[in-house]
Amino acid sequence: MTDPLPEILAQCLDALEKGELTLADCLAQHPAHQAELAPLLAAALRLETAPRPRPAAAFRRNARIRLLNQMAAQVKSAPTQPPAPTRTQTLTLGLTRLLAALAVICVVLFAGGAISYTAANALPGDALYSAKLILEDLKLASASDAEDAILQTQFASNRLTEIQLLTVQGRYADIPAAVVRFEINVEGATLALTGVARNDSNATYTLIIQMQRSLSAQAEVLSNLLIVVPEQTRPAIERAILAAHIFSLGG
Amino acid sequence: MLPADLPESEIVARAVQGEVEAFGWLYDKYVEAIYVFIYYQVSDQAQAEDLTEVVFLKAFEKLPEFRTQKVMENFRAWVYRIARNLVIDTYRTQKTTVALDPDLPLTSEEPPPENALQLQQDYQQARALIDQLEPQFRQVMILRFINHLSYQEIAQAMDIKENYVRVLQHRALKKLRAQMETETLPVK
C-alpha cells in the first residue's frame, strides 16, 4: 500500500503557504499522522525563512548588456551563429576585447586622432563599428547607475544619429542592427534608472526629464525619415520611434 | 517598454521571434531567482554569477526548441531545468564540493541591512542543512521552499513525475529533520 504521508504533507504545505490553514489546523486534520507531520512541517518552515542572497547589481547589469549584445549580434548576422560564450569564455573574450580596445586607444593616441575620429563616426557595417561599441561597453562597465543612465541615453542618441546617416547614405540593410542596439540602450537606461530610483528620487526625476527631451527630439527626426526610407526598412524605424516615444511619454 | 498588461506567454513568444526587449524582460524577471537556486548549490558568489549568466545564454540559444516542444511548459520551469542541468554538469566536471562561502553576498550598491549578522547566520545554517542532502533532495528543497515553485513546475524542471516530487519532498524533509536534531540547529 502506498504511504499516504507524502500527499498529506504536500496538502498541508500548500494550505499553509496559501494561508488557508494554520499549523495547528493541519495537524488537527490528520490526527493519525500528527507525530510524523509536526517535525516535517517545522523543518519545511525553517527552510521557508532562509535568506535569499541577491546577485550584485553590477553583475545583473553587465550580464544583461552582454546577453542582449549577443542577441543583437545574432539578429544582425547570418542564421548560423557560433555558440554564445560563457562568462568564463567571455572573461577571456573580455580580455581580448579590452586588449583590442587598448590597442585601438594606443593607435588613436599615436595616430594623432585620425582613427579615433573614424571609429567615433563608424556606422553599423563598418570595420571599426565594433571598436566603437567596445569602447562604449568599457565605459558602462565601471559606471554607477546614474552614470549608466546618462551614458545609455547618449549611446541611444548615437544610434539614432547612425540611423539618420545610414539613411542618407542609402545603407538601409544596416539600419536594423542600429535599431536593435538602440533598443538595448533604451532598455539599459531604463534599468539603470530603476537602480537610481532606489537611492535618489530627485536625481531620477532630473535624469528622466533629460532623457525624455533627448529621445523625444530624436524620435521626431526619425519620423521624418519614414517618408524617405524604402518600405522594407520602415518597420525597423517604426520600432525605434515607438521605443523612443514610449520612454519620452514616461513608459 | 513592453505593454504592462502583456501576458508572459506573449512576451515569451516575442522573445522566441528574436525580440531583444522581450528577452530582456524575461531576464529581469528571473535572473534573481535563478541566481538564488544556483547559489544555494554551488556556494560561491562568482561561480553562481557565471552559471546564472550561462543559464540565460543557453536559454537564448534554446528558445527555438522551447517553441517546438509539443507540451508547452511554462517558461519559468523551463529556465530552471536549464539551470539544474547546468549545475549537475558543473558538479560532474569538477567532482569536488566547493567550500561554503563565508559571506552572504549583499548587492554591492546597497548598504548592508541592520540585521546583516542575523541574516548571515540564518543563511549559513540553511546552507549547512541543505548541503548535506543528496543532490536530488537538495534541488527539491531549494525549488520548493526557497524558490517557491509549484509541484508541477518542479516536476518539469527536474524532468520527473509530479507525484514523485511529493515523495522526494517527504524523504528530504525527513532527512533534514534528522540532521536538525543531531546538529541541534534552531527550529523556528
Give me the total of CB pairs closer than 8 Å, taking one residue from chain A and one from chain B: 172
Residues in Cβ contact with A52 at an 8 Å cutoff, skipping those fewer than 6 apart: B32, B36, B146
Q: Picking from A101-115, A133-147, B151-165, which range would have the lowest pLDDT averaged per residue? A: A101-115
Report the 10 Å Cβ neighbour count for A87. 22
**Closest-CA residue in chain A for B148?**
A48
| C-beta pairs of A112-116 under 8 Å, 24+ apart in sequence | none
Is B187 within 8 Å of chain A by CB? Answer: yes
- As a whole number of angstroms, the longest Cα–Cα distance in chain B is 53
Tell me what the mean pLDDT of segment A11-32 comes to. Answer: 91
List CB contacts (< 8 A) between B187 and chain A.
42-43, 46
Cell of A238: 517604426
Q: Read off the pLDDT band of B36 (50, 70, 90).
A: very high
Cα-Cα-Cα-Cα dihedral sign, residues B138, B139, B140, B143: positive
Query: Nearest-CA distance from B61 to chain A in Å?
Result: 8
Q: Hey, what long-range contacts does B6-15 have (CB within 8 A, 24 or more apart)? A: B8/B75, B12/B66, B12/B75, B13/B67, B15/B63
Distances in whole angstroms, Cα of residue A98 to Cα of each of A105, A131, A139, A154: 10, 10, 11, 22
Q: Is B173 on the interface with A (CB under 8 A)?
A: yes
Q: How far is CA A82 from CA A1, A70, B16, B53, in A?
A: 53, 10, 18, 17
Q: Report the pLDDT value the prediction gives residue B28, as an integer from 0 to 100.
A: 93
The amino acid at residue B154 is: I
ipTM: 0.81
Between CA B25 and CA B12 the distance in angstroms is 9
Which domains are present in chain B? 8-184 (1.20.140.160)
How confident is the model at residue B141, as a pLDDT? 96
CB of B131 within 8 Å of a chain A CB? The answer is: no
**A-proximal residues of B, 28-47, CB under 8 Å:** 28, 31-32, 35-36, 39, 45
Residue B110 is classified by DSSP as S
Asked if the model's pLDDT at residue A75 lies above 80, the reply is: no
Chain A nearest-CA residue for B17: A75
pLDDT tens-place string over residues B7-20: 888 888 888 888 88
Helix (H, G, I), strand (E, B) or coil at A177: helix
Cα angle B153-B11-A245, degrees, rounded to a multiple of 5: 150
Q: In sequence order, what DSSP letters do the residues of B6-40 get, joined into one string?
A: --HHHHHHHHHTT-HHHHHHHHHHHHHHHHHHHHH
Compare CB distances from B57 to A46, A52, A84 and report the shortest one's residue. A84
Lookup: cell for A219:
524620435
Instruction: For chain A, say whether B166 makes contact (Cβ under 8 Å).
Output: yes
Residues of A in contact with B170 (CB under 8 A): 3, 5-6, 9-10, 40
Interval A28-49: pLDDT, tens: 999 999 999 999 998 998 888 8
Q: Amino acid identity of A14?
A: D
Report the number of secondary-structure helices (H) and strands (E) in chain B. 8, 0
pLDDT digits (tens, 9 = 90+) for B171-180: 999 999 998 8
Q: What are phi and psi of B95, to 5 degrees?
A: 55, 30
Rounded Cα gap, residues A4 and A7, in angstroms? 6
Q: How far, in Å, are A10, A15, A112, A156 from residue A5 at the CA level?
A: 8, 15, 78, 58
**Chain A touched by B139 (CB under 8 Å):** no
On whether any CB of chain A is under 8 Å from the CB of B86, the answer is no
Q: What is the pLDDT of residues B95-149, one digit of tens each?
A: 554 444 445 554 444 555 566 777 777 777 888 888 889 999 999 999 999 999 9
- Cα(A15)–Cα(B53) distance, rounded to whole angstroms? 35
